[in-house]
């Protein structure tokens, strides 16, 4: 029975990562400053306080707040059935950057990041690894 469950879980994980679209996430800027989103060295978006953007999930994302650019050990919050929104071209989840520069998991409500910060799942909030440079 245990091997059957393992095979079922492995099958679900392979199916999730084998899809042709990368998962997306909604990034809410809940800080008091504009946040610049970088993929590698390329500026992708600027998110004003109180606004959010939808981004493709990538380990190369970095966030610049003020003069500091931060990298994070990006991950999706779990369990998926609580934090993920399904039924779009890609799965998506919501995160927010807060005034402490940490990234918190959020629920999705009416297609946008919820205004209420839930209790954080394991591994959250994501703390900046280290500043990776100055803007």
Q: What's the whole-number mean pLDDT along residues 70-99?
A: 88
Domain count, the chain: 1
CB 27 within 8 A of CB 37: yes
87 is a domain residue: yes
Q: What 8-state DSSP symbol labels residue 22?
A: -
pLDDT of the residue at 55: 94
1 lies in some domain: no
Q: What are phi and psi of 10, to 5 degrees?
A: -60, -40
| Assigned domain for 14 exists | no
Asked if the structure places residue 2 within a domain, the reply is: no
Residue 10 to residues 5, 7, 85, 90: CA-CA distances in angstroms? Answer: 8, 5, 21, 20
**Does residue 50 belong to any structural domain of this protein?**
yes
| Residues 77-88 pLDDT 10s | 999 889 988 876
Considering the domain boundaries, does residue 37 fall inside one?
A: yes
32 lies in a domain?
Answer: yes
How are beta strands 68-71 and 61-65 bridged, if at all? antiparallel
11 in any annotated domain? no
Residue span of the structural domain in which 107 resides: 21-134
User: What radius of gyration do the chain's Cα atoms show?
Assistant: 16
Q: Which residue has the higher pLDDT, 131 or 45?
A: 45
């Amino acid at each position: 029975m245990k091997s059957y469950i393992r095979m079922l879980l492995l099958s679900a994980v392979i199916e999730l990562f084998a899809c042709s679209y990368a998962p997306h996430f909604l990034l809410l800027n809940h800080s008091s400053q504009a946040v610049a989103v970088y993929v590698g060295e390329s500026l992708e978006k600027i998110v004003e306080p109180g606004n959010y953007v939808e981004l493709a999930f990538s380990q190369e994302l970095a966030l610049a707040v003020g003069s500091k650019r931060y990298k994070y050990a990006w991950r999706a919050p779990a369990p998926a059935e609580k934090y993920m929104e399904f039924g779009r071209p890609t799965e998506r989840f919501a995160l927010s950057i807060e005034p402490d520069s940490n990234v918190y998991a959020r629920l999705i409500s009416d297609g946008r990041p919820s205004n209420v910060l839930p209790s954080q799942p394991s591994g959250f909030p994501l703390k900046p690894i280290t500043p990776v440079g100055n803007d």
